[in-house]
Every structure is written in structure tokens, then in C-alpha cells.
Amino acid sequence: MGLRSLTTQTRNTKQKDAIRGAFMAADRPLSPEEALALAKAHVDGVSLATIYRNIASLMEDGWLTAVEMPGAATRYEVAGKEHHHHFRCTVCGKVFELEGCTVQISRNVPKGFHVTGHEFFLFGSCESCS
């Protein structure tokens, strides 16, 4: 392995570590742009293309999962968390996790239907924007 290959491999590891660190520190779903801003604070040379490549890689590894919200761009969060829902601030656009699940859907399901999952989103203004 030549010096150029080793340097590229090391840089990518530092960049991926910075991206992982961004998601861990934020502890909420991030857009690629939010991940970029947080990762740039820890390592030079991170671009939006680098973020997208690493998000794809981290999703393939099962480390990240996509958060799809109606009317909003996809966010990403660390995978493997307990079942939870999300709150999107309509002022700043940030997405936050809501602990647990209080949604009682069984009584609303038509007779004979079998529920395999559900999604629940809240929208409003976050503490900083209120």
C-alpha cells in the first residue's frame, strides 16, 4: 500500500469518526447539512459529498437509520434505539426525538386489520424558537 492510499484511508477514518461524533453529540436526527456543520468543527476537509458518502456507508453498516417525515427532507439518526417518535420545529426546521411511545392505535384499527408498525410526528416550535 502506497503512502497516498494510506493517507486517504486515514483521512476517511477521521472524517467518518467526526461524522459519527456529530450524530452522537447531537443526539437527535440530523440533516446532511447539520451533520456537515458539526463534523467540520472537528476535522478539516469534510464536504457535503463526504457526508452523503459516509451516511450511505453508515446506513449500510446499520449504524444510521433514515427518518422520513412528511413534507421535510430525510434526516438520519443513530440506529438501534428504542421505539420513539419525532418532533419537527416548523420555525428552525430541527428534528428532535420524543422518548417512548404513548400512541394507542389498537382501538382505532378496523376489525380484521393487523398492524405491523406506525409512525407519529409532532410539529410546532421548539424551546429555542418559542
Annotated binding site for Fe cation: 83, 118
Residue type for position 118: H
Q: In the chain, what's the furthest Cα-to-Cα distance?
A: 65
**C-beta separation of 24 from 80 below 8 A:** no
- Specify binding-site residues: 83, 89, 92, 118, 126, 129
Phi, psi of 64 (to 5 degrees): -115, 155
- Overall size of the chain counted in residues: 130
Cell digits of residue 49: 459529498
User: 121 pairs with which residues across the strands?
Assistant: 86
* Binding-site residue set for Zn(2+): 89, 92, 126, 129
Q: What is the DSSP letter of 43?
A: -
